[in-house]
Amino acid sequence: MSYHVSHLLWGAVDLLFPPRCAGCGKLGQRWCFDCRTHLIRPPEPLCEVCGEPQSTPTICLRCTDTRPAFEALRSCAVFTEPLRPALHELKYRRNIALADLLAWHVAECLTALQWQCDLIVPIPLSQQRMRERGYNQADLIAHALARIMRWKYQPQALERVRHTRSQVGLNAAQRRANVQAAFQAHSAMVKNKMILLFDDVVTTGATLQSAAEALRAVGAKRVYALTVARALPKYGLDQPKQFSRRST
């Protein structure tokens, strides 16, 4: 009910002040039908654990050699247009109403996965980053998602205990080093629980791996990881090919 009330309130605001679509720029909706229906799913088959596209539907060599702390990682769409500009609108331009709209798409993806979890835990920002930005975009989507799924929302279960530099521009090894031991989980909230760990975008999975390690270290039963988008540059799927921002 709380999700639908929030959705109606944002709808009323949009009637008074017509927005532009965060994906294509078309006037009239925050997230238009064309953009919602043109999201690109990660190409199958996927690794059963990390969700990386590969040639066979098994566990990839990387996960076979070093099993991640999460049971499985999946993403709802590829980090390309029209989703990429929408996530940038939410993250950098304070278009927070998009969180509710994107959460509905994530809920459909989560329902199809048929994961059963006790808690939804978003990847937290550091205190410094939170002061700079004022909000956590992953937290906003996760909160709306919890209301849609009627699952418990527990952002306090995981804390970022040290500030880390942005992962943008770092290679896989640098990303792992950057977030190593960056998180601390609270046992009383997660012990013996099935956790859905949530973030907006995944590239190498280093942040989710570090957070999952912290959750498992204090007794979480299982950790599943889910993101709105996945960056797949080596497959040529990150390049803007289909949509362009419009001003009409």
Average pLDDT over all residues of the chain: 89
Q: Could you tell me if residue 15 is inside a domain? A: no
Q: Could you tell me if residue 28 is inside a domain? A: no
Residue 152 has φ and ψ, to the nearest 5°, of -70, 135
At 148, list the tokens: 């849609």
How do residues 206-219 score in pLDDT, each as one tens digit? 999 999 999 999 99
CB of 178 closer than 8 Å to CB of 167: yes
> Is-above-0.75 flag for pTM?
yes
Q: Could you tell me if residue 180 is inside a domain? A: yes
**165: domain CATH number?**
3.40.50.2020
Q: What is the residue type of 203?
A: T
State the total domains in the chain.
1
pLDDT at 9 (0 to 100) = 67
Q: Could you tell me if residue 145 is inside a domain? A: yes
Distance between CA atoms of residues 208 and 163, nearest Å: 16
Distance between CA atoms of residues 41 and 28, nearest Å: 26
Q: Could you tell me if residue 4 is inside a domain? A: no
How do residues 9-67 score in pLDDT, each as one tens digit? 656 666 667 889 999 999 988 899 999 999 999 999 999 999 999 998 899 999 999 99
Q: What is the residue type of 168?
A: V
Q: What is the residue type of 40?
A: I
Q: For residue 5, count CB atoms less than 10 angstroms from its CB and return exposed for 0-12, middle for 13-18, buried for 19 or more.
A: exposed
Question: How does residue 236 score in pLDDT terms, banded at 50, 70 and 90?
Answer: low
Average confidence (pLDDT) over 195-223: 97
Distance between CA atoms of residues 72 and 48, nearest Å: 7
pLDDT at 10 (0 to 100) = 59
Q: Could you tell me if residue 209 is inside a domain? A: yes
Range of the domain at 51: 42-235
Q: With left for phi above 0 and alpha for psi between -120 and 50, is residue 31 left, alpha or beta?
A: beta
Q: Is 197 helix (H, G, I), strand (E, B) or coil?
A: strand
CB of 229 closer than 8 Å to CB of 200: yes
Distance between CA atoms of residues 121 and 134, nearest Å: 19
Q: Could you tell me if residue 23 is inside a domain? A: no
Q: Could you tell me if residue 214 is inside a domain? A: yes
Distance between CA atoms of residues 119 and 14, nearest Å: 32
